[in-house]
Structure 1
Amino acid sequence: MNKLIGLIIIFMSVFGGYVWAGGALASMWQPAEILIIFGAGIGAIVIANPKPVLLEMLTQVRELFSREQEDPELYPQLFALMGVLMAKIQVQGLKVLDEHIENPQDSSLFLMYPAVLKHSNVLLFLIDNLRIQSIGKISPHDLEHMLEEEIHRIEEDRLRPSEAFSKVGEAMPGFGILAAVLGIIITMSNIDGPITMIGVKVAAALVGTFVGIFACYCFFDPMSKALEHLVERKSAQLRCVAAMLTAFAKGKPPMMAIDAGRKQIQSENRPSFIELERWMEEQKADAP
């Protein structure tokens, strides 16, 4: 929601101030200039990025405007699930989880925690690494290093849409100048026309420069930062899981391992230890 509010503030401030100063909005409507600038920008994105990055970009932008806040049920259910999993491992070993991690969507255990199932990035990261641990013995140090490398690689891939937005944002003023130059060429080819017509064409050319700068600093650059924050939030979810798996592999009791995961959550979403205990009690009470 705050992304939409931000866009509204930008448009009202820029164009409202322009009208207040005596400008006419009609003169800002130059579809040919807009086509040149945004067409060149979109084309540059398509040329510079492979199909998976373009698809991930669409997914992230859609998520940015549809689900901006952290799911309030994710961490309580994730901690409760990890508590149950670690308790089972302590008693029966990792092999007891095979029936659950092979097909979590049909697992009676995972079905108790729908928020975890809904977040496919968290679910896949968890079950893949549980499966690796169940296949063969791996030292806590090696596990920690492996998880760090995996998160780093995932983060790099997910940041590519943000980097693409940033790069094209830097180029937008240049595309604006490109449109302005084309407008000046048209103006010069009609230099013998009426002075009013020449003035209109020069104004249209200058709109191209404005649109390029506006798109850079009021859309593409903020969108790049917003996508970066989205990736950071998702990375924190994976670091939470990794911290719990690593702490438990090092021999810490389940509650201490869960607390290690709690400390990886971003500060605006991180519960206190007392809240964590309350979450665990509530999840136990809700469990069938």
Structure 2
Amino acid sequence: MFLIIGLIVVLVMVFGGFALSGGSFGIILKALPFELMIIFGGAIGAYISANSTGVISGSLKGIGKVMKGPHWKAEDYRDLLCLLFLLCKTMRTKGVVAIEAHIENPEESKIFQNFPRIVEDHHVVEFICDYIRMLTMNFDDPMQMEDAMTADLEKHHAELHEPQHALQTMADGLPAIGIVAAVLGIVKTMGAIAEPVEVLGGMVGGALVGTFLGIFLSYLMVAPIAGRLGQILNEEGQFMNLIKIVLVSHLQGNPPQISVEIGRRNVPSQHMPGFIELEEAIAELPPDI
């Protein structure tokens, strides 16, 4: 939603300012289809050549993610802390044997089924279950566990950011492609050097539209999308990092209440539940799990 609002503001301010200053849209409209074909078409072609199908697909999904905003909301962070509380409590009070049924079949687990939005995310559930499964295999050194989870998260983070980096690379290249279009326009103008001045002026103006369009698409269209996608991916990465923080705290011997409190303090500020809010949410969890 904010992406659309931002793009509308850009278009109104740039072209509105041009019109109010006495600019004529005639030359721009005449040159726009051809310049857009050269610049944006060339950029897309280069993008396809430079990236795998996975990155291209991720970029399209990323644009959709920018339009919708971050996947995880404040209540999801609270629910994740409650889920981790139940898992840590089960391991602490009933032992690792009691947790095996929950991590082997999370879709049927009474613990996981209390948090349907989290269960819908296969990667989050798999990350939780895999590392708790490692706990049941006596991989219980907090430092080793933290290192393993950090390496896993860094790999996942790098893979998620590949489409964002590709979009940023496209944005960085668009001004240069705009210059290519402008140079072609000047070549065309030089081929018509015998034409009257007013005709040559229109042709030079059309060539300059290429320079304008390359810079416009780069800094006011593609780069903001790439930047916002990076922000969203970083924020969503905190959701996964929260799992690491709580499980490592559990391995360090802290009770479930302390582990989730340490996790709560690491929730992004705009989504962080209050201490009392989290306590009340934990108190409302089903007692018979």
The TM-score with structure 1 as length reference comes to: 0.92
Residue in 2 aligned with 1:147? 149
Post-superposition shift, 1:104?
A: 2.1
The aligned counterpart of 2:28 is 28
Q: How many residues are treated as equivalent by the alignment? A: 287
Q: What is the SS of the residue equivalent to 2:271?
A: coil
Name structure 2 gaps, 5 residues minimum: none
Deviations 1:129-181 (CA, angstroms, capped at 9, x unpaired): 12222234331111011111111121122222222122221111100000011
Partners of 1:94 and 1:56 in 2: how far apart?
A: 38
Aligned partner letter, 1:25: F
Residue 52 of structure 1 corresponds to 54
Equivalent in the alignment of 2:65:
63
Moved more, 33-42 or 65-74: 65-74
Q: By how many angstroms is 1:4 displaced?
A: 1.8
**Structure with more contact order per residue of length (Cα contacts < 8 Å, sep ≥ 6):** 2
Letter in 2 for 1:253: P
The residue aligned with 2:274 is 272
State the partner residue of 1:75: 77
Which residue type is aligned with residue 241 of structure 1? I
Instruction: Note the C-alpha offset of 1:68.
Output: 3.9
Q: Give the Cα–Cα distance (whole angstroms) in 2 for the partners of residues 150 and 69 of structure 1.
A: 21
2:72/2:236 contact within 8 Å kept: no
Normalization by structure 2: what TM-score?
0.92
The one-letter code of the counterpart of 2:22 is: G
Distance 1:276 1:115 in 2: 18
Give, in whole Å, the separation in 2 of the partners of 1:282 and 1:203: 68
RMSD, matched Cα: 2.0
Partner of 1:176: 178
Does the aligned pair in 2 maintain the 1:240–1:263 contact within 8 Å? no
Correspondence 1:131-280 to 2 at 5 A: 131-280=133-282
Call closer, same or farther: CA 1:245–1:31 in 2, change over 3 Å: same
The alpha-carbon deviation at position 97 of structure 1 amounts to 2.5
Say if 1:245 and 1:26 are closer, same or farther in 2 by CA, change over 3 A: farther
- CA deviation vs aligned residue, 1:44-96 (integer Å, no higher than 9, x gap): 22222222222222222211212346423311221221121112111222232
- 2:74 and 2:272 in contact (8 A); partners too: no
Flag structure 1 segments of 5+ consecutive residues without an equivalent. none
Cα separation, partners in 2 of 1:84 and 1:27, compared to 1, 3 Å: same
Preserved CA contact (<8 Å) 2:140 2:251: no
The offset of 1:284, in angstroms, is 4.8
Aligned to 2:95: 93
**Could you say what secondary structure the match of 1:159 adopts?**
helix
Alpha carbons of 1:157 and 1:184: their partners in 2 closer, same or farther (altered >3 Å)?
A: same
Report the residue type matching 1:23 in the other structure.
Answer: G
Deviation at 1:26, TM superposition (A): 4.1
Tell me, yes or no, if structure 1 residue 6 matches structure 2 residue 37. Answer: no
Q: 84-93 or 98-107, which moves further after superposition?
A: 98-107
